[in-house]
Amino acid sequence: MARAKEFDREVVLERAMEFFWAQGYEAASMRELLDTMDIGRQSLYDTFGDKHSLFLASLQHYYEKGMRTVVAQLAAPDGGLSAIEEYFDGMARRMSTKPYRSCLLINSAIELAPHDPEVAAIVNRFVKKLRKGFAKALEVAQSKGEARIDDIDAVAWHLTNSAMGLGPMSKARVPYKDLKLVSEQILKNIRA
Amino acid sequence: MARAKEFDREVVLERAMEFFWAQGYEAASMRELLDTMDIGRQSLYDTFGDKHSLFLASLQHYYEKGMRTVVAQLAAPDGGLSAIEEYFDGMARRMSTKPYRSCLLINSAIELAPHDPEVAAIVNRFVKKLRKGFAKALEVAQSKGEARIDDIDAVAWHLTNSAMGLGPMSKARVPYKDLKLVSEQILKNIRA
DNA sequence: AACATTCTGGACCGCTCGGTCCATAACGAG
DNA sequence: CTCGTTATGGACCGAGCGGTCCAGAATGTT
């Protein structure tokens, strides 16, 4: 062993993620990233590889730390309608507060997915899991008698689509007051 | 008068628009744009100004030629539910065919709106008109007895959100089969 | 204390970016 | 036919990009 790193990998990765989230991939320059992450140039390249690899790590980190548990709660066996309600209200709240930076996965889908297979793979995995989460929550709601749904698959897709819509709405600075209406309307539509 | 331009302004603007639509703003280089538009460098700068101005012109052109009539049809006095149905089915079809390039206005909202006031203004105008179009269609549907809606404002926002969702869904290559489910589900929710 | 190994920071690199300049070609007016 | 004006295309520009190199500092091992 020799000299130890002076920074915590996860801490600086978090900073990179925040910056990509706010700026987008192309618009974030390495110089700015270095400033934001507050580490040396070589340290970054040694630890994360090139810009693209750093972005993939950031995106993965975003999913793991920001969305994984949220999506998992949708599929909780005691969730049902309330899980869906919490998902949308939480998202609406997050999306319509100060930085209005949408969701990194949605942003990446728009900016990079068509020309970047690795980003596309992460995004597709997310969409799949989200849809599955909604489907599970609907099944639970169904069995609890909270809702009467004839085509769970269709409704799950519809909820997924609605979740995606919050991204552009956030970037267009639609205020919480209106996103709350959206969230409530979604719930009304599936209540028995 | 002197020498006439060798190209048609609208034709080359259309090409620029298509290219921005497929690539995004940052990822589209002037050199590629010149190739695609098939005009000389100086001609471009003389005719459209700089890259940013060219983009604004493209975005405006996209709205005028691609969305204006579509949104207007929503507000048609004989529209109602069928207008909403046609809007979503048409969009779902467009979004899930070959280039999967979503909608230029949604893409621009994500990539540029937060840091580009002029783009933000165009996007906001679009969102506003779209919401208004949905509200009008819902009023017509109401008066025709096609739907019974207690809160038109909330449903209009919900439809707007759903329309925005199609963008990310397109980029994630969700197939038409599933977007059709989304479209149908939206309609089911507002039918009386 | 001496060494091997790793991390650090800044000088440096080639390249592509968006944008300008300018000599030349094409055209209408007189 | 001549002249003035405009369009054209390619040479050219400074700047910023992502990425590499390398000398030196810091640390664990022996």
Confidence check: pLDDT of B1 > 90: no
Q: Is the CB of B41 under 7 A from strand D?
A: yes
**Residue found under tokens 């009304």:** A188
**Residue found under tokens 């840091």:** B115
What are the tokens at B67? 């969305």
- The answer to whether A147 contacts chain B (CB < 8 Å) is no
Confidence class of residue A6 from pLDDT cuts 50, 70 and 90?
confident
Instruction: Give the per-residue pLDDT at A98.
Output: 86
Confidence check: pLDDT of B28 > 80: yes
Confidence class of residue A7 from pLDDT cuts 50, 70 and 90?
confident
Nucleotide nearest to A1 (CA to C1'): D28
A48 vs A192, residue with greater confidence: A48
Confidence check: pLDDT of B9 > 90: yes
Spatial distance between the Cα atoms of A153 and A135, rounded to a whole number of angstroms: 7
What are the tokens at A4? 């130890």
A4 vs B67, residue with greater confidence: B67
By the 8 A CB rule, do A94 and A154 touch? no
Per-residue pLDDT, averaged over A111-138, amounts to 98
What percent of chain A is predicted at pLDDT more than 70?
97
Q: Is the CB of A50 under 7 A from strand D?
A: yes
Q: Is the CB of A35 under 7 A from strand D?
A: no
Amino acid at A5: K
Cβ separation B168–A171 shorter than 8 A: no
Instruction: Give the per-residue pLDDT at B13.
Output: 97
Per-residue pLDDT, averaged over A81-94, amounts to 98
Query: Strand C footprint at Cβ < 7 Å?
Result: A 1-7, 39-43, 46; B 1-4, 28-32, 41-42, 45, 50-52
Cβ separation A172–B127 shorter than 8 A: yes
- A positions 22-51 inside 8 Å of B (CB): 22-24, 26-27
Confidence check: pLDDT of B3 > 70: no
Cβ separation B110–A113 shorter than 8 A: no
Instruction: Give the per-residue pLDDT at B192.
Output: 66
Q: What is the mean pLDDT of chain B?
A: 96
pLDDT tens by residue, B129-186: 999 999 999 999 999 999 999 999 999 999 999 999 999 999 999 999 999 999 999 9
Cβ separation B155–A185 shorter than 8 A: yes
Instruction: Give the per-residue pLDDT at A108.
Output: 98
Hey, of A149, A164, A181, A187, which one would you mutate to test binding to chain B, going by the most B CBs within 10 A of its CB? A164
Confidence class of residue A159 from pLDDT cuts 50, 70 and 90?
very high
Confidence check: pLDDT of B2 > 70: no
Q: Is the CB of A10 under 7 A from strand D?
A: no
> What's the predicted TM-score (pTM) here?
0.95
Instruction: Give the per-residue pLDDT at A83.
Output: 98
Q: Which of B75, B89, B95 is nearest to B156 (CA)?
A: B75
Out of A27, A100, A178, the one facing B157 most closely (by C-beta) is A178
Crossing angle (nearest 10°) for helices B152-171 and A104-111 = 60
Q: Which of B190, B191, B184, B189 is nearest to B88 (CA)?
A: B184
Instruction: Give the per-residue pLDDT at A54.
Output: 98
Per-residue pLDDT, averaged over A175-180, amounts to 98
Out of B106, B161, B167, the one facing A162 most closely (by C-beta) is B161
B29 vs A98, residue with greater confidence: B29
With beta carbons under 8 A apart, name residues in chain A contacting B154: 181-182, 184-185
- Rounded to the nearest angstrom, the minimum Cα separation between A117 and chain B is 11
Confidence check: pLDDT of B57 > 80: yes
Amino acid at A75: A
Which residues 6+ apart lie within 8 Å of B191 measured at CB?
B81, B146, B147
Instruction: Give the per-residue pLDDT at A3.
Output: 61
A167 vs B3, residue with greater confidence: A167
Q: Is the CB of A41 under 7 A from strand D?
A: yes
Per-residue pLDDT, averaged over B34-44, amounts to 95
What are the tokens at B55? 């983009």
